[in-house]
Chains A and B, each alone.
Chain A
């Protein structure tokens, strides 16, 4: 068997490519739905105390084989002028927490005082996440008014938006006093990253469907009428939106080992599939079937943002190119996956290349799904600087990892036009104009390329055999980037190999990359630093989750959507 190596970090870790990633078998939502089905999780709504104005609370519990987790949802009556997706908002249509276990009345009372306040509230170690969501006003009203008059909502209206509510923040990992990830990371259901957050959103989607039905019933009842029940196929086509800004962008830079593990898992999966000598007829037919469904997903993807419009147009073209490639060649030829990948790299846009990479993994769950267990990270072992390393070796490492940065002319203002900083308001990460705003003294360490080039220059007159410890004693300002360099030396996908402060940087590339690992689809940038997405669209609702529905839901069923 020919072993195809993992792709080179210099190829993979560019922002333009990371900003073109798609969901895959190794996305956190799909890892969760597969686990829930495999382990036979049981779901129940245990409380729905919401009045006819849509105000109150509800509780949804997921029973794993060993434990229970409950989403506690608080529904609010939000005036339109207060509806903002920004992190600086102070009120929302709905607020949530994922509770560790089954809450009693005292827990609900306590959380009712805190969860609706979000950042201004406080939670404890029995809470695993805190989140909130706003309605899509247009679609919400459409669905309520249709159902309340005995009709189903229009399919094209649903497809145009994709969700009834969008989350605007889902906090986990100890935020606002919640349980630290370390407290729960040993539980098998949370060993993969972001499973708490994905479970919270999965249950949120169920609540939102229940709430819209409830509001339709209330409206119908006012007229003494009976509302229609939302058709299951339509309910399934409704996901949960998410609206994300810069707050998420620094994550990939701040968690280098974790980021490496995500990318390495996907790259290893690709390498395993490219190394297959001969695909079986079953695998080929599965790929061809999903190819058609994945094209349908591309067709449903809407965006008005010029950058994404151009990328989508290229992706449409790519899907046509792949279709004709698949007519020309036989996937039963030897090493057909490797040939397909190599052809894609030569002929498709980055969107198309990464789309086909994700699709190639699909027939091979048995070969790649185990990699999900390699995607989390414990930073303890990598955090310490190896002070005994010789300057010569540090220099070699720098040239190996950061050649692209050492070659940049950092005296050109365009190459460091931006600065990342944290604003006083709700501690919101922002990106500013270094030479136009008074922000440089507040700059966050989110420009590894510039820092690596500066370190390289500072080392120039140091002798090769001096230990790094001696250099750092004189230059504590370089500790951050020395640590980073040593980490990337061991974890080559830990670094974005691109300038994160250039005048041309597109923070949405970082958001897209992270959200693709979550399993999001329908990326719809609202600006260069803000993106809306859809989660769990076409996924089974909890009661319909089974072995048959748990995995491939992300690809629309052609019968369903073409009808």
Chain B
């Protein structure tokens, strides 16, 4: 069964929020899962992996200690690719000035790549990331992949190096539908479910505000 990209984004946003991310980060995580899916990359699967790995952990433990360091590291030695990715996007200009930002011990590094797309759009120059022999570059609209494809699915990379401006080689073709397994969908749905208030008779009656009888 295929999903629309909007469905993936909507589900991912709720799931990320359910796993304890702030709404702002959840929105970005969801855009990212959608963006990866639109290149036929396993954005939804990897988001489910990450949310399970870091379920409801305090964000400060998984965030870069300082944005000024040459090598970003997180106090808990497991960097969230969403928090670090969002910071990388926020630091698009310093990235270009320095030419390179490295991160240590990044969980599910592919999930940080959509944020590079955001940075690349802001800079007007492609941004690249390398880990474990894989190199992925984007200008925000196209995605280039070189090297070891298996590395894209790793759950932890000891070192990820981001560079800008980068060269674009080997484009992936965008797709309009995404394949998400039922198992992955269920894993995300379990997180998303936490964001729904249990219905009560009172909320049924008052919360939506409909009339009592529609046989008119």
Contacts and interface: CB of A to CB of B under 8 A. Distances in A.
B87 A527 contact: no
A17 B80 CA distance: 44
Nearest to A124: B2
A180 B67 CA distance: 37
Nearest to A471: B90
A276 to B, nearest CB: 40
A258 B215 CA distance: 36
Given A245-B210, A469-B87, A476-B59, A137 B176 contact: no
A427 B198 CA distance: 10
B158 to A, nearest CB: 22
A171 to B, nearest CB: 11
Nearest to A474: B60
Contact of A424 (B59, B90, B197, B208): B197
Contacts of B203: 423, 430, 432, 437, 439
Interface string B173-197: 0001100000000000000010111
Interface size class on chain B is 35 or more
Interface in A54-104: 80, 83-88
Contacts of B22: 476-480
Interface string B58-88: 0110011001000000000000000100110
Contacts of B121: 380-381, 384
Interface size class on chain A is 35 or more
B28 interface: yes
A309 to B, nearest CB: 16
Contacts of B197: 421-424, 430, 432, 438-439, 442
Contacts of A428: 207-208
B207 A84 contact: no
B63 A245 contact: no
Contacts of B211: 85, 526-527, 530
Given A174-B7, A177-B4, A424-B198, A245 B90 contact: no
B118 A480 contact: no
B159 interface: no
A192 B120 CA distance: 29
Contact of B25 (A137, A425, A479): A479
- Per DSSP, are chain A's interface residues mostly helix, strand or loop, or mixed? mixed
B196 A483 contact: no
A414 B91 CA distance: 40
A125 B178 CA distance: 11
Given A423-B199, A442-B197, A469-B91, A384 B208 contact: no
A85 B90 contact: no
A138 B214 CA distance: 11
Nearest to A469: B90
Contacts of A482: 24
A318 B168 CA distance: 63
B135 interface: no
B45 interface: no
A89 B89 CA distance: 43
Nearest to A383: B31
Q: List the 4 shortest-distance A-B pairs measured between CB atoms, nearest first.
A: A479-B24, A387-B90, A174-B6, A174-B4
Interface of A: 80, 83-88, 122, 124-125, 134, 136-138, 173-175, 177-183, 243, 245-246, 380-381, 383-388, 421-425, 427-428, 430-432, 437-439, 442, 445, 467-470, 472-474, 476-483, 507, 526-530
27 contacts: A84-B214, A85-B211, A85-B214, A86-B214, A87-B208, A88-B204, A136-B216, A245-B209, A246-B207, A380-B121, A384-B121, A385-B86, A387-B92, A388-B91, A424-B196, A428-B208, A430-B203, A431-B207, A432-B206, A438-B197, A442-B197, A469-B67, A473-B63, A473-B83, A476-B24, A480-B24, A526-B210
